[in-house]
Amino acid sequence: MKQVGVIGAGIAGLATAVRLQAAGKQVTVFEKNEFAGGKLSSFEAKGYRFDAGPSLFTMPQLVEELFLVAKKEIKDYFSYERLEVVCNYFWNDQSRFIAWADKEKYAQEMQAKFDIEPKICLDYFQLARKKYEATENIFIKRSLHKVSTYFNKDILACIGAIPYLNIFDTMHNINKKTFKNDKVVQLFDRYATYNGSNPYQASGILTMIPHLEQGIGTFLPKGGMHSISQSVYKLAQDLGVRFYFNSPVEKIILNDKKNKATGLISNGQVHNFDKIVCNMDVFFAYDKLLTGLKRPEKILKQEKSSSALIFYWGVKHNFSELDVHNIFFADDYEAEFNSIFKTKTIYKDPTIYINITSKREKQDAPDGGENWFVMVNVPALLEQHDWENWITELREIIIQKLSKLLNTNILEKIETEQILDPRSIESRTLSHLGALYGASSNDRNAAFLRHSNFSKQVENLYFCGGSVHPGGGIPLCLSSAKIVADGIE
């Protein structure tokens, strides 16, 4: 039985462990924290439960696939529901839009609110589906760093789709050409934030992202987002995966020629393995675990994705106009993205995202209260950033904006508060510079510039997670796990 060591119990590390253990390997996972899940963690404060990290669940089939591979009944571990409302959108002029999960209903709402013909909206969703289906088998399900990827029938579908993939235009330009209403353009531009990118720079191919919500669906796990990682962790345990918590890895052991990984060192102890899978941010993998090895500088120096400032508020009030997912837009979206990616500062009128799981999971908040996960996009961490003052300033801006749009003094309703900023994101999750998705996708070649799922220098060394191919976010992390597992014999 081959022995595989996995560094990191984030969702990609857990999924990789499940797949490899189910395939007959003996897997051992080393995690620096005392819990499994990485960013998909949870905490409680004064009766309010909060998901600490990702708040959007799409593509549940990728989680289901882990239980199929393991030959276990998913119902014994995990359940979820499809949301009828994908998101509620708000603008500073009091305009509102409900994004229904039903595409026909969505299109009718868009016609009523923004005078957009239903066919325009439905055709956009249909084209998003075509883009996704033409590219997923190449860009998501396979390694872009192996020659075999480019010699199969799926590559023909991808090449044939090039005329309508909009690769050489920007996401914003495609949306502006499609919709003649600025608010609708802004609404569809926001999908660039799904991988921490700028719609005014990112390739138009990203206009496929709405298919994930409107075509496949938006879901809420029973027990909150935290239950995704915990169900996969329990599955891994039941399969026989071994876990070492409070066990940071100090080094990946290479042979004398530095061309083969033979084990790792954790808490000063040597552990020998046939294969090593690293779920750590690839920057820190080279910086901390592979010292002395030639670094892929071009890859490591790519522009980072956006980061986030998150306020976890226990709010003693029920807001009927809010749902699980809510967006309060900035007036000038381009200026906001310029602040994040160009001047690298905070913006005076940020777009605010609020996630409230207690809208469906009543136990997540006391009676009469709601658990607010309040997030604004901010630049990745830089030394000159004045975070203490920025947090104070943004908190005041957010409270004033929400109080006005919801016609309620939000400050008076906050019972408990905790804060996560790029500094704590980096320190807690080892995400370089606090970037949520590793590298941004602002370059049209970004998919090819991400680090591969295997080492080109070191035999038996593999990489999974949001900082490598195919990218950040739960679905892509789960896809990276499959790519890695399929590549290990």
Query: What does the pLDDT look like over 224-254, one tens digit per residue?
Result: 999 999 999 999 999 999 999 999 999 999 9
Query: What does the pLDDT look like over 114-145, one tens digit per residue?
Result: 999 999 999 999 999 999 999 999 999 999 99
Report the pLDDT value the prediction gives residue 384, as an integer from 0 to 100: 77
Query: Token match 């030959």: residue?
Result: 71
Report the pLDDT value the prediction gives residue 489, as an integer from 0 to 100: 87
| pLDDT of 383 strictly over 90 | no
Query: What does the pLDDT look like over 5-63, one tens digit per residue?
Result: 999 999 999 999 999 999 999 999 999 999 999 999 999 999 999 999 999 999 999 99
Query: What does the pLDDT look like over 316-359, one tens digit per residue?
Result: 999 999 999 999 999 999 999 999 999 999 999 999 999 999 99
Q: Which of 279, 275, 225, 213 is nearest to 248 (CA)?
A: 279
Give the number of other Cβ atoms within 10 Å of residue 332's Cβ: 14
Q: Which of 330, 323, 389 is nearest to 361 (CA)?
A: 323
170: which DSSP letter?
B
Residue 363 confidence class, pLDDT cut points 50, 70, 90? very high
Phi, psi of 82 (to 5 degrees): -85, 135
Query: What does the pLDDT look like over 385-442, one tens digit per residue?
Result: 899 999 999 999 999 999 999 999 999 999 999 999 999 999 999 999 999 999 999 9
Alpha-carbon distance 489 to 477, whole Å?
20
Domain boundaries, the chain: 3-40+224-302+445-487
Fill in the amino acid letter for 159: I
CA dihedral (403, 407, 410, 415) in degrees, to 10, reads -160
Report the pLDDT value the prediction gives residue 385, as an integer from 0 to 100: 86
Percent of the chain with pLDDT over 70: 100
Q: Which CATH number is 3-40+224-302+445-487 given? A: 3.50.50.60
For the chain, the residue count is: 489
Report the pLDDT value the prediction gives residue 71, as an integer from 0 to 100: 98
Query: What does the pLDDT look like over 95-104, one tens digit per residue?
Result: 999 999 999 9
**Rounded CA Rg of the chain:** 22
Among the ranges given (151-165, 185-199, 475-489), the one the predictor scored with the smallest mean pLDDT: 151-165
Give the number of other Cβ atoms within 10 Å of residue 460's Cβ: 21
Tell which wins on pLDDT, 152 or 261: 261
Is-cis flag, bond preceding 470, omega within 30? Answer: yes
Q: Tell me the H-state helices in 218-374.
A: 226-239, 282-284, 297-300, 333-338
Report the pLDDT averaged over residues 62-80: 98
Report the pLDDT value the prediction gives residue 133, as an integer from 0 to 100: 96
Q: What is the greatest pairwise CA distance in the chain?
A: 69
Query: What strand order describes the sheet that includes 242-244?
Result: 242-244, 26-30, 3-7, 275-278, 461-463
Report the pLDDT averaged over residues 350-377: 98
Alpha-carbon distance 406 to 400, whole Å?
10
